[in-house]
Structure 1
């Protein structure tokens, strides 16, 4: 059968921070950097040309993204503009998750494979809560898309295999992999991303351990030569590549891949 690849260009999804540039945690890989360029809930009326929104933000002092505080207004916007919503939740409890069920079209949920990595990167031990929230999301029949960041712990591989092995206990059809980006202003800014071969190995491990799994290289992965080389190596392994560079597109066509496209967040 002809090799297939699905490319995603993030044209029709906009990211919203429900907490502005506030986050209770100053995690070592981010330190609020990614909140700075996000729109806020006050900007939504200006985003009616978008078909979907990623509702995200920093964590409050309960280590939750407080989506449940905005449900009524988000319902109104959804009805007004026919948006699809992809949500980040943090570690919400069962009742909080029930409150957001009506507005959720997808949940992007970051998983960490072991407690040591969680404590080192996030500075808190919420390891059990991560997996409890994940259990609750599945029990409540959310459309959950597990995300694993390769090299989360300052570019070192410390939790990825554990996370994949643990996911083997679940009936999941997709895994979205992100790749650690050394981020200016963060504790890890001088670290290096994992080697391209290490990232490819993780993809291949997941491919081998699951039957019929769809693997995505998500939007968060280093730019420049790293991105070009990584995407080229993942052709034939990844099922989706988000933000493909021209070299990847040209390669796929040259290798006679069957190429399909979409233009929203890859969870849809």
Structure 2
């Protein structure tokens, strides 16, 4: 046995129960012989439809296509949430396209969010982009389950991928802001974000370590058709595995999850196995056989039809 390779898994065992959670966010259908997710329990809503001012190289608004389009709904955010709740939804992700400052226009929906929490009792997650002081202050009054945001540690990625006039310090400022307002932070690190290269991921991890987190979510670049990265080659299995292990060693008591986005096929299976070997706490959209693989490692599975880290 290679003790160095086993260390992250044993750090997990020292700090967490022998359990692992598999997530089925309502973004797309997902089914294996071990886990069939439901798209009804946790639903993603775009407050801007498929409009976004940034048109990032890795997305080009494609990620908005799988979300419900609030502008075309013909009612308020509360009305849409109530309609979903009546159909069995327990929670919503409120997201959308950004303005040129990478801010999703959430302030106009704050009162609706308060009603969703108070009157419907639904779990709320938000994708705010880079929320300013006013947005963070308002979100703190809602009682949301968490803020999910990409943390970028590389200037080239911010400039060339996001087309954004910002710096890594702007991302760190958001982590500080969320901490000051007591908003649960769920940062995401995208491995291979700079056209498949690992440019600022380690810096992002170092940045994140300094702030209180609810959960860290790791995802891997998934080249999407119709984007500037559709032919990009993602990072190697070795690079991905090394980052998983370093994350676990760096944050021994923080839940770390493998999120939705990652390459498909045989590579996805290998990535999922690496996540378990490295001591990660959960996986979204698990590949075929991974629930059984976790069981072989002594981990008891549970299943939640929601975004990473949500509990009912």
Superposition TM-score, scaled by structure 2 size: 0.80
My pick for the range that moved more, 43-52 or 64-73, is 43-52
1:6 and 2:21 matched: yes
The corresponding residue for 1:28 is 57
Q: Does the 8 A contact of 2:52 with 2:97 survive in 1?
A: yes
Counterpart-to-counterpart distance in 2, 1:166 and 1:99: 25
**Pick aligned residue for 1:179 from 209, 220, 239:** 220
The corresponding residue for 1:76 is 115
Task: Give unpaired runs (5+ residues) of structure 2.
Answer: 1-12, 26-37, 74-79
Counterpart-to-counterpart distance in 2, 1:35 and 1:210: 31
Alignment partner of 2:289: what SS? helix
C-alpha deviation, 1:116, in angstroms:
2.0
Could you say what the CA RMSD is over the residues aligned between the two structures, in angstroms?
1.9
The corresponding residue for 2:165 is 125
**Pick aligned residue for 1:56 from 95, 106, 112:** 95
My pick for the range that moved more, 192-201 or 76-85, is 76-85
Q: Does the 8 A contact of 1:5 with 1:236 survive in 2?
A: no
Q: Does the 8 A contact of 1:3 with 1:236 survive in 2?
A: no
Q: Does the 8 A contact of 2:50 with 2:69 survive in 1?
A: no
Counterpart-to-counterpart distance in 1, 2:214 and 2:42: 22
Alignment partner of 1:252: what SS? helix
Counterpart-to-counterpart distance in 1, 2:132 and 2:297: 47
C-alpha deviation, 1:140, in angstroms:
0.5
Counterpart-to-counterpart distance in 2, 1:56 and 1:167: 22
My pick for the range that moved more, 75-84 or 17-26, is 75-84
Counterpart-to-counterpart distance in 2, 1:52 and 1:98: 22
Q: 1:105 to 1:5 in 2, by over 3 A?
A: closer
My pick for the range that moved more, 144-153 or 72-81, is 72-81
Counterpart-to-counterpart distance in 1, 2:200 and 2:190: 9
Q: Does the 8 A contact of 1:18 with 1:57 survive in 2?
A: yes
Task: Give unpaired runs (5+ residues) of structure 1.
Answer: none
Aligned counterparts, 1:229-244, within 5 A: 229-237=270-278, 238-244=280-286
C-alpha deviation, 1:3, in angstroms:
4.8
Q: Does the 8 A contact of 1:24 with 1:60 survive in 2?
A: yes
Q: Does the 8 A contact of 1:4 with 1:236 survive in 2?
A: no
Aligned counterparts, 1:242-261, within 5 A: 242-261=284-303
Q: 1:179 to 1:52 in 2, by over 3 A?
A: same
1:114 and 2:129 matched: no
Q: 1:77 to 1:212 in 2, by over 3 A?
A: closer
C-alpha deviation, 1:267, in angstroms:
3.0
Q: 1:261 to 1:179 in 2, by over 3 A?
A: same
My pick for the range that moved more, 185-194 or 216-225, is 216-225
| Structure 1 residues 107-164: Cα deviation after superposition (integer angstroms, max 9, x where no partner) | 1121001222211211123223222122111110001111111111111100111111
1:46 and 2:61 matched: no
Superposition TM-score, scaled by structure 1 size: 0.92
Q: 1:62 to 1:156 in 2, by over 3 A?
A: closer
Q: Does the 8 A contact of 2:103 with 2:130 survive in 1?
A: yes
C-alpha deviation, 1:71, in angstroms:
1.3
Aligned counterparts, 1:185-224, within 5 A: 185-224=226-265
